[in-house]
Amino acid sequence: MNRHPLRPVTEADIRTYEEDGVVCLRGMFDREWTDRMREASIRFMESGIGRKRIVQKPGETARFYSNVFMCGLDPNFMAFRNESPAAEIAATLMRVDRVRFWYDQMFIKEPGTSAPTQWHQDLPFWPFRGSHLISIWVAFTPVTKDSSGVEYIKGSHKWPKFYRPVTPDEDPNFANPDLEPCPNFSERYGDPSLKFLSWELEPGDVVCHHPMAVHGAGGNKSATQGRIGLSVRFLGDDVQWDPRPYTVKIPVPPKVPAGAYPGDDAVFPVIWERPRAAAE
């Protein structure tokens, strides 16, 4: 299983991430990782444990399943967090020398589920402020537009918008009434002011997005191909802890005051640091 990205993250990749709020990096994780994690994801879903959210549309047996804080629940996800290239990719794209782990989230769309991923931004339901935050969405199966490939609106991470959060199962605990609902951008595909980005993915490809980037996905129209991905979220240098109402509650809050850098190693461990250059 590869420890470092299978190819370097380039300056052009970093600029794309900064400009567009999202970048697709091809072939970063090897087959050993993707086979292991695909099997671990399915096994975990069938186990029924965790803080799962399951959407099953009336009349359908196929599920849209997601679960969070995976690495505290399953050693495969812990290995992925600690030993895969995900954290190094995150640090490189954010141009930081150290990243802390926030959480990981597994997404499975079984063949035939019509459940969408509603258009949303991530930061409105995260208890942080700042710009050094990133999600690394790693494909463990092939992904096409029809099998629910995630779509992003180019440059939307720079919009002065903070939309009301919506989870797959529309959990009211996140539905902050003070924020405007996120429009259904699928109704605006012809709008020349919007550029939609999405990629057909192979296992081991990764799409990295800023948590202010507006994104969403359709159902999985494939009759045979499940769509499985893991979004691993990391924090960089300029992040401040901001436990507002309607944001994710973590079992053990960090021992830092609101407004401070979340430097509590027990809650947000450092996963990757840039190796220091050898002394001359």
Ligand X SMILES: O=C(O)CCC(=O)C(=O)O
Residues that bind ligand X (CB under 6 A): 107, 117, 122, 135, 137, 150, 215, 217, 229, 231
Q: Select 51 or 274, whichever has its Cβ closest to ligand X.
A: 51
Q: Select 107 or 268, whichever has its Cβ closest to ligand X.
A: 107
Q: Select 100 or 109, whichever has its Cβ closest to ligand X.
A: 109
Cα distances from 218 to residues 16, 89, 144, 249, 269, in angstroms, run 24, 27, 11, 27, 34
* CB-based contacts of 268, cutoff 8 Å, min separation 6: 100, 101, 102, 235, 254, 262
Q: Select 16 or 231, whichever has its Cβ closest to ligand X.
A: 231
- CA–CA dist 102, 141 (Å, integer): 24
Nearest approach in angstroms of CB 203 to ligand X is 15
Dihedral in degrees, nearest 10, Cα atoms 168, 174, 176, 181: -10
How many CB atoms lie under 10 A from the CB of residue 199? 21
Nearest approach in angstroms of CB 146 to ligand X is 14
Q: Select 117 or 156, whichever has its Cβ closest to ligand X.
A: 117
- CA–CA dist 177, 180 (Å, integer): 7
Q: What does the DSSP assignment read for 183-243?
A: P-GGGGTT-TT--EE---B-TT-EEEE-TTS-EEE-----SS--EEEEEEEEE-SS-EE--
Nearest approach in angstroms of CB 128 to ligand X is 14
Q: Select 65 or 272, whichever has its Cβ closest to ligand X.
A: 65
Nearest approach in angstroms of CB 280 to ligand X is 43
Nearest approach in angstroms of CB 28 to ligand X is 16
Nearest approach in angstroms of CB 120 to ligand X is 7
